[in-house]
Amino acid sequence: MADIEVIVVGAGVVGLAIAQRLASGGRDVMILEREASIGEHASSRNSEVIHAGIYYPSGSLKARLCLDGRDRLYAWCEAHRVPHRRIGKLLVATADDELPALEQLRFNAQACGVQLQSLNAAQVHELEPAVTAVGGLFSPLTGIVDSHALMQSFETVLLGQGGQLCLRTRVDRVERQGERWLVQGQSSGQPFAVSCRWLINAGGLFAQQLAHSIDCYPAALIPPLHYCQGRYFSYSGSSPFRHLVYPMPEPNAVGLGVHATLDLGGQLRFGPDVRYTDSIDYQVDAGSGESFARSIQRYWPECRAERLQPGYAGVRAKLSGPGAAAADFMIQGPAIHGLQGVVSLFGIESPGLTASLALAEEVAGQLDNL
């Protein structure tokens, strides 16, 4: 049985960011990851967008950590040569009745400290000739990033600082033993046990499951988990867009609409949609292409359904259910749950990738203050 100062459970982008930050600060760190490779779930199944911080309520964790994380992420990518591009994003209203929502986004972004450029229909057309809209907003700070390269850079720093990464390792039970925690489970099919002073729950889709396995973790504080699938379709042929293009958000802020994104190779893709499910489901139904095309044609009338090909799907770890307003990130340390040495992160959906380095600072601060 090994003794480690800090165990981070979960090797998604957030867990890796936390682990490398703590290792760089001189702590003895081990990551335990149930899958065979890093970032198998939400971290590699998203739009790969560096968000500017437009949508989140002023004063929320999402708003604060998105802005902080955005700036940290651009600096990290420059320093560690992670492929990225500050491509910019165009938000569009396709009808007059959407203009109030567009203006509300501008007000919200301003309240959060994000400046957007207001555009009339002619200016939208000049920026993106293929887009049909009555007005728009332009976000110059939005970008795209190679999420896999980003996670690999975090892993490289972690290992370079003496940290450890254990794949195919599932945590089944966490027991209190004096001033330490005994973490037990299965590693490559064999029982394992390791003790630690600090346990960081960055389990993403499995964070609630892990919290329930921790001795004396108050069940009332573990939030409900809602699986929310988002599907993506790729588009054959050259892209007519130079920037990301987003329609107005869907009702109750459940989703941001089926938007157009580009990867670093210039491939055009659309998504995600919003589908609550009862399980982690990564299937993409080819028959959904028709409904995707109808959504896209609101702002790009030339979209042809036959050119949409099933791409991939991700599953968001949402704390809000269907019809409810989007919930904020939830970070629970000892001051909240009363368990010395445990920090849990729940509901780390978008903008989790953008906020990953800011989340790492938040967790590091909890350890430094106790």
Give the pair of three-digit tokens for residue 44. 């590699």
**What is the C-alpha to C-alpha distance for residues 196 and 142, in angstroms, rounded to an integer?**
39
**What is the C-alpha to C-alpha distance for residues 239 and 244, in angstroms, rounded to an integer?**
11
**3-class secondary-structure state, position 38:** coil
C-beta atoms surrounding 282 within 10 Å? 12
324-335 as b/e: b if 16+ CB within 10 A? eebbbbbbbbee
**What is the C-alpha to C-alpha distance for residues 322 and 274, in angstroms, rounded to an integer?**
9
Q: Are residues 97 and 242 in the same domain?
A: yes
What global pTM score does this model have?
0.96
Q: Are residues 121 and 231 in the same domain?
A: yes
Q: Smallest Cα–Cα separation from 322: which of 258, 292, 290, 278? A: 278
**What is the C-alpha to C-alpha distance for residues 290 and 82, in angstroms, rounded to an integer?**
36
Tell me the pLDDT of the chain (370 aa) as tens digits: 679 999 999 999 999 999 999 999 999 999 999 999 999 999 999 999 999 999 999 999 999 999 999 999 999 999 999 999 999 999 999 999 999 999 999 999 999 999 999 999 999 999 999 999 999 999 999 999 999 999 999 999 999 999 999 999 999 999 999 999 999 999 999 999 999 999 999 999 999 999 999 999 999 999 999 999 999 999 998 999 999 999 987 554 456 678 999 999 999 999 999 999 999 999 999 889 999 999 999 999 999 999 999 999 999 999 999 988 889 999 999 999 999 999 999 999 999 999 999 999 999 999 988 6
Beta carbons of 31 and 163 less than 8 angstroms apart? yes
Q: Are residues 174 and 290 in the same domain?
A: no
Q: Smallest Cα–Cα separation from 204: which of 16, 61, 5, 7? A: 16
In terms of Cβ atoms closer than 10 Å to its own Cβ (0-12, 13-18, 19+), residue 18 is buried
| Domain harbouring 350, CATH code | 3.50.50.60
**What is the C-alpha to C-alpha distance for residues 274 and 350, in angstroms, rounded to an integer?**
13
Give the pair of three-digit tokens for residue 245. 């293009």
Q: From residue 109, how far is each of 46, 52, 244, 247, 352 by CA, in Å?
A: 22, 9, 17, 16, 18
Range of the domain at 94: 86-141+225-318
Q: Are residues 214 and 335 in the same domain?
A: yes
**What is the C-alpha to C-alpha distance for residues 99 and 84, in angstroms, rounded to an integer?**
31
Q: Are residues 339 and 289 in the same domain?
A: no
Q: Are residues 121 and 248 in the same domain?
A: yes
Number of H helices, E strands in the chain: 9, 20
Please tell me what DSSP assigns to residue 214.
Answer: B
Give the pair of three-digit tokens for residue 90. 């165009």
| Number of domains comprising the chain | 2
